[in-house]
Chains A and B, each alone.
Chain A
Amino acid sequence: MIDFGYTLTRDRQLDFDRGDFRYLKLVKSLEPSMDLCIGCGSCTATCSAGGFTDFNIRKLHTVIRRGDPESIKAELKKCMFCGKCQLVCPRGVNLRNLILAMNRAIEILG
């Protein structure tokens, strides 16, 4: 192989035909209320961890739906389990259990 001094950039599209949806399936079975999310962001806005870090619970749960579980593995540790997100959710998503479910999925699937 020759090194011309530059490298090829990988496609960063979310590819639904190549995503890993095992995590989504497992998390959904553990916490079905995740289907109710409308992406309003109330949870993220009030999140205790979100004020200090990049932790974005709305985005994390959406990303797992798109078959991209890699991004969430390190992030979940930042949640403090304060429960503010669940209090404020207008659709009644059981957010604390959702985080536990995502943790569980990572435990089981790696």
Chain B
Amino acid sequence: MKPGGKRQIWDEYQKEIADDNYFYVRSCVRQNFFPGAEKTFFRYMKQLGRNVVENPSHTTCSGIGYHSDIVPFETAMTMVARQFALMTEAGYENFVTSCITSFGLYSEVLETWEHFPEVEEQTRIHLRNATGREFLKPKNLAHASDVTFKLRKEIADAGRYRLVNQDTGKPIRVVEHIGCHYSRMFPNKGVGGAEYPYVLVGMIEDWGGEVIDYPERRHCCGFGFRQYLVKANRGYSISASKKKFDSMKPYKPELILTNCPGCPMFLDRWQYAISEMEGTTYGENGQGIPVMTYEELAGLILGYDPWDLGLQVHQVPVEPLLDKMGIPYDPEKKFLDIDGNFIGKPKSPSFLKFY
């Protein structure tokens, strides 16, 4: 492998990411699977002196419905317009999304309005009739992982831990996985383009880890919306994740890093489902390969308490990685809520070794 070859491609796909003053919109479902992630984003942005605001009356962008063939495009555009209206009313012009599908939808809508101004006009009329709101288009649209990528060096400088195995001194081997809607639709809207995106690679490298290249690296995790949401299709959908696991196994990854809501949910939960269906586990000692989002990893680097990040809710135990990195945690506190009450412990899986 000649790493220089990929660097040339990364240099060709550069992207404008705003510096400060972000209007943030959340993901519909991410907080169910990774409860601490979005909160952590706010926390480290504040620590690094950046201003991020959100409006509690913002809604879903309806990407989840749009991609499941339930919400028509006109409706989706009007909902997007409302989100932009909230941003305009707050006096902001830099739009940051938590979800990759959102990012893809916002990019798609802006691009559609760019080529078909009459559609934009029509959306304005719809929004005015439905809510009375007016909107301006954002000057800069970025995904929260783009912003974290931009600040990765500051995070590394302020960080207390590195992606390095404390006992052996070797970098942690990380598989990075990019959500399909990040750069496959518009390669020039992703850092590094569509074939070899750089947004997560940059973070891993600057935080001390080693990125693994494996044959099915560019394969979709299989989420697919319509495929996964319908039980009859679900086996086909999760088979895509299984293909990725089978392909990455010989490379012995110690962590999977993702930037989409659906992908980490898939890659984390399906290690459990596959182990129950077939008895196969991935990772060392049958413990599975821990999966994290970039906010959770940034939080660990910065020394936040792992249980504040929501890591206790991960299906594949994260503790082996914490031990490797030398990050302290209190096992007793894992299943306690904010007030110190025990919330119950999940049953141990049959094959995936719990911690």
Complex-state Cα separation, A1 to B276, whole angstroms: 5
Q: Which stretch in A2-10, A22-30, A32-40, A56-64 binds the other chain?
A: A2-10
Establish whether residues B235 and A2, one from each chain, have CB atoms under 8 Å apart when the complex forms: no
Assembly CA distance A6 to B277 (angstroms) = 9
Interface residues of chain A, those whose CB is within 8 Å of chain B, are 1-11
Q: Tell me the bound Cα distance from A6 to B237 in angstroms.
A: 10
Does B235 contact A8, Cβ atoms closer than 8 Å? Answer: yes
When the two chains form their complex, are residues A8 and B279 in contact, meaning their CB atoms are under 8 A apart?
no
Query: Nearest 8 CB-CB pairs, A to B?
Result: A6-B235, A9-B239, A2-B276, A6-B234, A7-B235, A9-B236, A8-B239, A8-B235
Contact of A8 with B278 in the complex, beta carbons under 8 Å: yes
Q: Is B231 an interface residue (CB 8 A)?
A: yes
- A4 near B277 (CB under 8 angstroms)? yes
* Bound Cα distance from A3 to B278, whole angstroms: 10
On chain B, the number of residues with a Cβ less than 8 Å from chain A's Cβ atoms is 17
Complex interface: chain A residues within 8 A of B279 (CB): 1
> In this complex, what residue of B is CB-closest to A10?
B239
Chain A, Cβ-Cβ closest to B272: A2
Q: Closest Cβ of chain B: how far from A78's Cβ, in Å?
A: 32
Would you give 23 A-B contacts (Cβ < 8 Å), ordered by A? A1-B277, A2-B350, A3-B277, A4-B234, A4-B273, A4-B276, A5-B231, A5-B234, A6-B232, A6-B233, A6-B235, A6-B238, A7-B235, A7-B277, A8-B235, A8-B239, A8-B242, A8-B277, A9-B235, A9-B236, A9-B239, A10-B239, A11-B243
Q: Does B45 contact A (CB under 8 A)?
A: no
The reply on B274 being an interface residue by CB < 8 A is yes
Could you tell me if B239 and A2 are in contact, using CB atoms closer than 8 angstroms?
Answer: no
Of the residues A2, A3, A8, contact of B238 by C-beta under 8 Å? A8
Secondary structure at the B interface, as helix, strand, loop or mixed, is helix
How many residue pairs, one in A and one in B, have C-beta atoms under 8 Å apart? 36
Spell out B's residues near A (CB within 8 Å).
231-236, 238-239, 242-243, 273-274, 276-279, 350
Residues of A close to B231: CB separation below 8 A:
5-6
Collect the chain A residues with CB atoms within 8 Å of residue B276's CB: 1-2, 4
Least distance between B145 CB and chain A CB atoms (Å): 30
Bound CA span A5–B242, Å: 17
- A9 to chain B: which residues have CB within 8 Å? 235-236, 239
Residues in A with CB closer than 8 Å to B232 are 6
Chain A nearest CB from B108 CB (Å) reads: 29
A residues less than 8 Å from B243 (CB atoms): 11
Bound: A6/B276 CA distance, A: 12
Can you name the residue of chain A whose Cβ is closest to the Cβ of B235? A6
Give complex CA distance A2, B279 in Å: 10
Interchain CB contact under 8 A, B236 and A2: no
Q: In the complex, what distance in Å separates the CA atom of A6 from the CA atom of B242? A: 14
Interface centre among A1, A6, A11 (most CB of B within 10 A): A6
Residues of A within 8 Å of B278, CB to CB, are 1, 8
CA distance A11 to B242 in the complex (A): 10
Which residues of B are found within 8 Å of A6, using beta-carbon distances? 231-235, 238
- What 17 new A-B contacts, CB under 8 Å, besides A7-B277, A9-B235, A9-B236? A1-B276, A1-B278, A1-B350, A2-B276, A2-B350, A3-B277, A4-B276, A5-B231, A6-B234, A6-B235, A6-B238, A7-B235, A8-B235, A8-B238, A8-B274, A8-B278, A11-B243
